[in-house]
Structure 1
Amino acid sequence: MNKQDLIELIVFNIQNYKIDVIEVADFPADAITNNKRKITVYNPETITPYKLAHELMHIKNGDMHRFQDYDTLNPQEAKANREAILFLWDIFETQGGSHHDISIFCEFTGCPFYLSYSIISEISNDVIEFLNEEDSRTIEECADEYLNDFDFISDTTIINIESFLKRYGINFNQFDKARNILFSKANLKRV
């Protein structure tokens, strides 16, 4: 399942609640739902599965209003965030994902890492044990695994150092070292 398939699955779930779903490319927000008018509008250019699943949870819960935009203190928002992560995690696990892949889950779905970690670790002691383990692999070994994910590496290949660091839980103060190792192993020149 790719990201677009996941978005389409969430749209299908929204439509099952008899909600009209409309894509608007220049919509100023990622997504918004009005349960009273039975409509969800989202920007296909900026939407993530997490943000759309968040709207699905508002629909499922029958939430009718927010106090203001970005109302993070509203209990409905906190509940929708939590339920969206659990909904997406369930799909991720049924597709073969595991607690070993939590950073990949977050990157794929757009879920915030620390919130996801907190919520998923509540439901799985394996996650806590795994994430608290020291990774004994060196940056070089992680770089080899990371570069193996690419089908082909050329001068036009984009290697995202931040993504690499997040994926392997490497401290960001190792950025320069990681960049040098990745570019060296990929036989690429730094720009």
Structure 2
Amino acid sequence: MNQEELTALIITKIENLGIDYRTFDYDNQRAWIDTRLCIGGYNPNTATPFDHAHEYMHACYKDSRRLGECDTLSPAEKRANKEAILMLWDWFVQNSGSFDDITLFCKITGCHYDTTQRLIKSMCCDRSDKSFRECAIDYISRFDIITRDTLNIYNFLDFYGYHHNAYDEARALLYELCWFELVG
């Protein structure tokens, strides 16, 4: 799916909820919905599929109250962001997207890369029942060929949600498992 197809699909879903959602330039906003009045608008030049999906989530949950002029940290905003990413990711995977394509996914949908990566990785890489060593074994088993140059310790730590303070321990363990000598 491309941006236009995603946008059309989401707009249809919004309209199916009874929202009169049309093009409109409202105070420099990319997209907005008022669930009390069942209206909404979007700037067709700047709104991304993520913006539409975010507003769709507000409509689904019937969010009707803002906490202030800038309520980006409110529970409703956080939920709308998360649910929008998950909905778009689900469609992306159904259309042959994969975890390796997060950058492409973000480019197509307009989702924020860091938030998306953190959310998708937390879904895909549950380490709750795995030791540090088991996570390292799982990580290196994902590669066909692995060399000292292709092994990125920070990617491993990020992938499993470990803090970068564990770099030295992770490096020693991964090098041991890959039979690399610790040099430099």
1:55 aligns with 2:55: yes
The TM-score with structure 1 as length reference comes to 0.65
**1:10–1:53: 8 Å Cα contact kept in structure 2?**
yes
Residue 66 of structure 2: aligned partner: 66
Cα pair 1:27 1:43 within 8 Å, conserved: no
2:125 is aligned with what amino acid? N
Distance 2:2 2:26 in 1: 23
Unaligned ranges ≥5, structure 2: 127-134, 152-184
Matches within 5 A, 1:1-191: 1-24=1-24, 28-125=28-125, 129=139, 136=150
Q: Report how many aligned residue pairs link the two structures.
A: 135
Give a deviation string over 1:54-104, Cα, whole Å, max 9, x none: 000000111001122331221000000000000000010011100010111
Shift of 1:136: 2.6
> Residues 30 and 43 of structure 2 are in contact (CA less than 8 Å); yes or no, is this contact kept in structure 1?
yes
Give 5+ residue unaligned stretches, structure 1: 138-191
CA distance in 2, matches of 1:103, 1:70: 28
Give the whole-Å Cα distance in 2 for the aligned partners of 1:7 and 1:55. Answer: 12
| Alpha-carbon offset, residue 24 of structure 1 | 2.0
Question: What is the identity, as a one-letter code, of the residue corresponding to 1:105?
Answer: F
Pair 1:37–1:26, CA change in 2 (3 A): closer
Q: Secondary structure at the match of 1:21?
A: strand
Give the whole-Å Cα distance in 1 for the aligned partners of 2:70 and 2:116: 19
How far does residue 26 in structure 1 lie from its aligned partner after superposition?
Answer: 7.0
Superposed structure 1 runs of 4+ greater than 4 Å apart: 132-135
Identical aligned residues as a percent: 38
Retained in 2: the 8 A contact 1:25–1:45? no
For residues 116-135 of structure 1, the C-alpha deviation after alignment (integer angstroms, 9 at most, x for no partner) is 01111121129x959x9887
Q: Residues 70 and 107 of structure 1: is their aligned pair in 2 closer, same or farther, counting only changes over 3 Å?
A: farther
8 A Cα contact 2:33 2:39, kept in partner: yes
Separation in structure 1 between the aligned mates of residue 39 and residue 26 of structure 2, nearest angstrom: 17
Q: Counterparts of 1:113 and 1:82 in 2: how far apart (Å)?
A: 12
| CA drift at 1:25 | 5.2
The residue aligned with 1:142 is none
The residue matched to 2:72 in structure 1 has which SS?
A: coil
Give the letter aligned to residue 136 of structure 1.
Answer: T
Structure 2: distance between partners of 1:60 and 1:99: 27
Give the TM-score normalised by structure 2. Answer: 0.67
Q: Distance in 2 between matches of 1:11 and 1:70?
A: 25
